[in-house]
């Protein structure tokens, strides 16, 4: 009996109906839509096409088998060797060189005369052989009537002479037309994807009113490391040449030879050296083109074992691609990595540490204050039933941490748009479409990580503690508050403020120690609480300086900003927030309270010189706000009241509560 194990948790259970493609193990092997005994309608999604799988396999080879953090961080997570693929391949050149000979053969083929003898009505007989008289005499049934002098026939033996089209050499030419058309269709699809990349990265001048120039610059820089300067020219020439060849081959479908040779006639890959293929000047070139197709364009039929092994390697390459996106995302956000066991320990100034690792199921796991698991599935969900996909995704809600399912393609039109776009809200499972052919896969992954880090690795704000019997501190109080037993820091103290606090604590400690000595000498009772409170105060100042460090670092341009604490009214700082503005780029960031659930979440307002309302209206709902801001976001901006209202990462409601999507949620 087949044992099914879910990849997200490694637990065995019965296979759901339907099941997500590549989300399960069957007897220790990953499977998609080809498992024996599993009907196709029981699988959501299909195994990706050859272009997608070849791209991730080549990318995995470029990074290396034992990939380090630096190898991932320095290699763009995009389809490799695009410049080479944009140039004419050997078979492309052979097609251009010998296509005219194939055209000549299809329109003016060599034909043999086929001669057959059969008894036909006299009206249809045209050529009569010499033995026709003897045949007529021996077949009285063919007589119409008999006279005294002769026999009047109704049917007579006649010779039929017809052209023989279905020659071996002609079958080679006709089948070669089919093979070359299939090759050119695949080749032009690949070139079309490269052209999409070039079109998206070449010129953003038309979109500057709708997209961030920082995002545009990052994407252009990403592809400049992948594409060469002459790639566009080579691509244009190659596509034009192959499109002309494709049109010429399509016209051959109406040629007399193609119409006369039966479709079911096949030809072995190894050609027979017939006289026509060797001696005829046109057929000889057709034979050479056939051999070039066998060498460069034909893929041999796989056995079941070879197909299974290939899919296992493609699935492993897809897992590495998703990990590649994660590493690039962390590197782009300024995180550094140190090897730790089977993964890495990630660190960044002003943030809590994060552990990143990949388990035996291929799941990428990140642990900080919360847990995020990325399940890479080598599956294209474009043609799957959206309702069924959403039901399977919802089934993962409430599992250990937040779950992101990284699949191949451009996305699924789910009823819940948040799940389809990868905006994780309140620990729900979401989809994340990506591809090595996608120009913004890295940007969107960095955005997803950015949002998760703000919930899982951002230090608690404010820094608060309870210290009893702390003497009144006469220092400056705009960075902290001392009310009763509560001590709350709202921003990191400057060097001067920290020095003043330490000096007061040191002096106060000496004063209390001296007082304790006098009291002890007088053999009187004394309390140690004030002295312990001063020691705790020193630790609190050091902790506040470390925990709140980096609040004034602009997350957009890296310059220093001005932090404005908003202490709130609660003595323990539970309602405190902060907001900062960059003096260089005027971007704003900080924390905001949710009017729905009360959660305080981080939000970022990047300044890009855009009319945000116009950009929101001009951007499709599924692409907003990734097409405009890329990774420069902490919380999802609401399309209503753009960049002044944000959706709470926990409950999904925006601060204004007037957005139709927020009202539905």
pLDDT in tens, 321-353: 999 999 999 999 999 999 988 899 999 988 899
Give the sheet arrangement for strand 561-566, strand by strand.
561-566, 577-582, 588-593, 600-605
Binned at pLDDT 50, 70 and 90, residue 204 comes out as: very low
Binned at pLDDT 50, 70 and 90, residue 524 comes out as: confident
Q: Look up tokens 């057929």; give the residue.
A: 283
Residue 354: is its pLDDT beyond 90?
yes
Tell me the mean pLDDT in the region 563-574.
89
Tell me the mean pLDDT in the region 104-126.
76
On the CB side of 11, how many CA atoms lie within 13 Å of its CA? 4
Tell me the mean pLDDT in the region 574-588.
90
Binned at pLDDT 50, 70 and 90, residue 289 comes out as: very high
- In angstroms, what is the C-alpha Rg of the chain? 38
Alpha-carbon 180 to chain mean position? 31
Distances in Å between the Cα of 411 and the Cα atoms of 28, 408, 584, 618 are: 29, 8, 37, 20
What are the tokens at 317?
A: 């390459």
Confidence (pLDDT) at 51: 86
Residue 660: is its pLDDT beyond 60?
no
Residue 509: is its pLDDT beyond 60?
yes
pLDDT in tens, 476-498: 578 888 888 889 999 888 888 88
Measured distance CA(101)–CA(109) in Å, rounded: 11
Residue 167: is its pLDDT beyond 70?
yes
């Amino acid at each position: 009996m087949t044992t099914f194990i879910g990849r997200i948790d490694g637990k065995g259970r019965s296979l759901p109906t339907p099941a997500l493609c590549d989300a399960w193990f069957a007897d220790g092997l990953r499977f998609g839509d080809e498992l024996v005994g599993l009907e196709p309608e029981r699988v959501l999604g299909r195994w990706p096409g050859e272009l997608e799988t070849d791209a991730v396999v080549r990318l995995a080879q470029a990074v290396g088998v034992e990939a380090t953090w630096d190898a991932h961080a320095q290699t763009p997570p995009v389809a490799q060797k695009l410049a080479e693929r944009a140039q004419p391949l050997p078979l492309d050149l052979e097609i251009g060189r010998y296509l005219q000979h194939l055209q000549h053969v299809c329109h003016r083929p060599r034909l043999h005369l086929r001669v057959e003898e059969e008894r036909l009505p006299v009206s249809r007989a045209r050529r009569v052989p010499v033995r026709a008289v003897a045949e007529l005499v021996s077949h009285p049934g063919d007589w119409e009537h008999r006279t005294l002098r002769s026999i009047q026939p109704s049917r007579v033996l006649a010779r039929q002479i017809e052209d023989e089209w279905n020659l071996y050499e002609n079958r080679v030419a006709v089948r070669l037309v089919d093979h070359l058309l299939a090759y050119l269709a695949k080749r032009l699809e690949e070139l079309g994807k490269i052209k999409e990349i070039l079109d998206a990265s070449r010129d953003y001048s038309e979109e500057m009113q709708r997209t961030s120039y920082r995002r545009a610059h990052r994407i252009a820089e990403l592809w400049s490391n992948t594409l060469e300067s002459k790639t566009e020219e080579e691509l244009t020439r190659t596509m034009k040449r192959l499109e002309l060849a494709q049109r010429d081959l399509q016209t051959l479908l109406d040629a007399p030879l193609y119409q006369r040779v039966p479709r079911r006639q096949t030809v072995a890959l190894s050609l027979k050296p017939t006289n026509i293929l060797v001696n005829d000047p046109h057929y000889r070139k057709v034979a050479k083109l056939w051999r070039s197709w066998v060498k460069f364009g034909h893929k041999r039929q796989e056995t079941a074992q070879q197909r299974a092994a290939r899919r296992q390697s493609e699935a492993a390459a897809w897992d590495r691609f998703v990990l590649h996106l994660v590493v690039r995302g962390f590197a782009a956000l300024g995180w550094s990595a140190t090897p730790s066991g089977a993964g890495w320990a990630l660190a960044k100034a002003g943030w809590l540490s994060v552990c990143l690792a990949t388990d035996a199921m291929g799941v990428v796991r990140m642990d900080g204050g919360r847990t995020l698991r990325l399940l890479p599935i080598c599956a294209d969900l474009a043609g799957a039933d959206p309702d069924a996909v959403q039901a399977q995704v919802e089934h993962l809600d409430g599992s250990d941490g937040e779950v992101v399912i990284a699949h191949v393609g451009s996305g699924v039109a789910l009823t819940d748009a948040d799940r389809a776009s990868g905006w994780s809200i309140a620990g729900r499972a979401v989809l994340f479409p990506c591809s090595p052919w996608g120009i913004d896969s890295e940007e969107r992954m960095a955005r997803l990580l950015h949002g998760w880090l703000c919930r899982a690795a951002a230090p608690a704000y404010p820094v608060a503690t309870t210290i009893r019997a702390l003497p009144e501190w006469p220092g400056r109080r705009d960075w902290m508050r001392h009310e009763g037993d509560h001590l709350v820091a709202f921003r990191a103290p400057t060097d001067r403020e920290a020095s003043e606090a330490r000096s007061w604590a040191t002096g106060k400690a000496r004063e209390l120690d001296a007082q304790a000595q006098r009291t002890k000498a007088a053999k009187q009772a004394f309390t140690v609480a004030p002295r312990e409170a001063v020691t705790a105060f020193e630790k609190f100042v050091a902790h506040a300086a470390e925990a709140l460090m980096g609040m004034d670092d602009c997350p957009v341009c890296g310059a220093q900003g001005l932090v404005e604490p908003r202490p709130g009214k609660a003595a323990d700082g539970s309602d405190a927030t902060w907001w900062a503005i960059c003096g260089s780029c005027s971007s704003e960031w900080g924390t905001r309270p949710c009017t729905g659930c009360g959660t305080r979440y981080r939000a970022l307002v990047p300044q890009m010189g855009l009319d945000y309302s116009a950009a929101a209206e001009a951007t499709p709902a599924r692409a907003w706000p990734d097409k405009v801001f890329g990774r420069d976001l902490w919380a999802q901006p609401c399309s209503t009241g753009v960049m002044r209202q944000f959706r709470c990462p926990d409950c999904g409601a925006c601060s204004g509560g007037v957005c139709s999507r927020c009202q539905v949620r």
